[in-house]
Amino acid sequence: MELNKDLYRSKPIYLREMQDDDITDRYLSWFKNDQVTRFLEIKDLTYESVKEYINHGRETCTYFMYAICLITNDLHIGNLKIGPIDRKHMVSDLVTVIGDTSYWAMGIATEAIKLGSKIAFKVYDIRKLSGDIYSENIGSVKAYTKAGWTIEAVLKGHAIVNGKVMDRIFVSCFNPRYFNDQHS
């Protein structure tokens, strides 16, 4: 599918579909870093498991993986996933991770979320995007809300992360094509 390259770019970053050659030792090290994986459900990935995952999403069209790259030097610093896509209801999750911690707290995740939302709405015709965040993951909550997402619900004491009970915060973003101002 040929995509409008402007959908993929903002001032500091661009998104591109992930490829097998993105799976490097540097990439795999992100998922061995306790700081990066603290709020993730996945850890200790292998080259084969990541390759299989990326290709499965592409082949089944149930989710799509994007590399978050810096415009200045093309450095791959994180990932964005659109999916799983529920085609019946045209809703999807949108998940981001900045794996290179030297780029945390710079607004890059916010920019990636904005770009990913545009792609989800314009390319995949998603009506509504959602995500859920552990309450102590303040950086993610800020990134999504700064990207224009809404906190739709808070489930009190819904999760246990590393032995600690946390709330689960549900965020969402509505495609203006399908929702008027009262829903977005």
> For each of the chain's 184 residues, which pLDDT tens digit applies?
444 555 588 889 999 999 999 999 999 999 998 889 788 887 678 999 999 999 999 999 999 999 999 999 999 999 999 999 999 999 999 999 999 999 999 999 999 999 999 999 999 999 999 999 999 999 999 999 999 999 999 999 999 988 899 999 999 999 999 987 654 4
**Domain 5-126 classification at class level:** alpha beta
Opening angle at CA 105, ends 63 and 143, nearest 5 = 45
Strands 128-134 and 91-98: parallel
Burial category of 150 from C-beta neighbours within 10 Å (exposed 0-12, middle 13-18, buried 19 and up): middle
Domain ranges of the chain: 5-126
Please give the pLDDT value at position 48. 94
Burial category of 59 from C-beta neighbours within 10 Å (exposed 0-12, middle 13-18, buried 19 and up): exposed
